[in-house]
Amino acid sequence: MVKAAISRGTTPASPDPVRVLVVGGGYVGMYTALRLQRKLKAELKRGEVEIVMVTPDPYMTYQPFLPEAAAGSISPRHVVVPLRRVLDKCRIVIGEIRSVDHAKRTASFTTLATDEEGTGAVDIAYDEIVMAPGSIARTLPIPGLAEYAIGFKTVEEAIGLRNHVIEQMDIASSTRDPAVRDAALTFVFVGGGYAGVEALGELEDMARYASRYYHNVKAEDMKWILVEASGRILPEVGEEMGKYTVGELRRRNIDVRLETRLDSCEDRVAVLSDGARFPTRTVVWTAGVKPHPVLAASGLPLNERGRLKCTAQLTVEGTTHAWGAGDAAAVPDVTAPGKECAPNAQHAVRQAKVLGDNITAALREQPLQEYTHAYVGSVASLGLHKGVAHVYGRKLKGYPAWFMHRVYHLSRVPTINRKSRVLAEWTLSGLFKREIVSLGSLEHPRAEFELAAGGKRPKESS
Q: How far apart are CA 413 and CA 415, in angstroms?
A: 7
Domain count of the fold of the chain: 3
Shared-domain flag, residues 124 and 27: yes
Shared-domain flag, residues 170 and 281: yes
Shared-domain flag, residues 349 and 251: no
Domain limits for position 129: 18-137+290-364
Phi-psi region of 259 (alpha: psi -120 to 50; beta: other; left: phi over 0): left
Shared-domain flag, residues 213 and 240: yes
Shared-domain flag, residues 117 and 204: no
Residues in the chain: 462
Does 6 reside within a domain? no
Mean pLDDT of 1-9: 49
What three-state secondary structure class fits 160?
helix
Q: What are phi and psi of 178, to 5 degrees?
A: -60, -35
Mean pLDDT of 412-435: 86
Shared-domain flag, residues 160 and 263: yes
Does 369 reside within a domain? no
- Residue range 67-122, pLDDT digits in tens: 999 988 888 889 999 999 999 999 999 999 999 999 999 999 999 898 888 888 99
What CATH number does residue 177 fall under?
A: 3.50.50.100
Does 197 reside within a domain? yes
Shared-domain flag, residues 329 and 418: no
What CATH number does residue 304 fall under?
A: 3.50.50.60
- Residue range 208-236, pLDDT digits in tens: 999 999 999 999 999 999 999 999 999 87
The structure's pTM equals: 0.88
With b meaning 16 or more CB within 10 Å and e meaning fewer, what string describes 248-260? bbeebebebbeeb
Shared-domain flag, residues 58 and 166: no
- Residue range 197-208, pLDDT digits in tens: 999 999 999 999
Task: Look at residues 252, 287, 322 and tell me which one is the last residue of a structural domain.
Answer: 287
Does 460 reside within a domain? no
Mean pLDDT of 302-323: 96
Q: What are phi and psi of 335, to 5 degrees?
A: -85, -10
7 Cβ neighbours under 8 A, 6+ residues apart:
320
Does 441 reside within a domain? no
Find out whether 278 and 184 touch, Cβ atoms under 8 Å.
no
Residue 3, CB half-sphere, CA atoms under 13 Å: how many?
A: 10
Task: Look at residues 237, 270, 287 and tell me which one is the last residue of a structural domain.
Answer: 287
Shared-domain flag, residues 196 and 294: no
Shared-domain flag, residues 302 and 275: no
Does 371 reside within a domain? no
Does 124 reside within a domain? yes
Shared-domain flag, residues 152 and 259: yes
Does 221 reside within a domain? yes
Q: What are phi and psi of 94, to 5 degrees?
A: -85, 105
With b meaning 16 or more CB within 10 Å and e meaning fewer, what string describes 364-379? eeeebeebeeeeebbb
Shared-domain flag, residues 192 and 254: yes
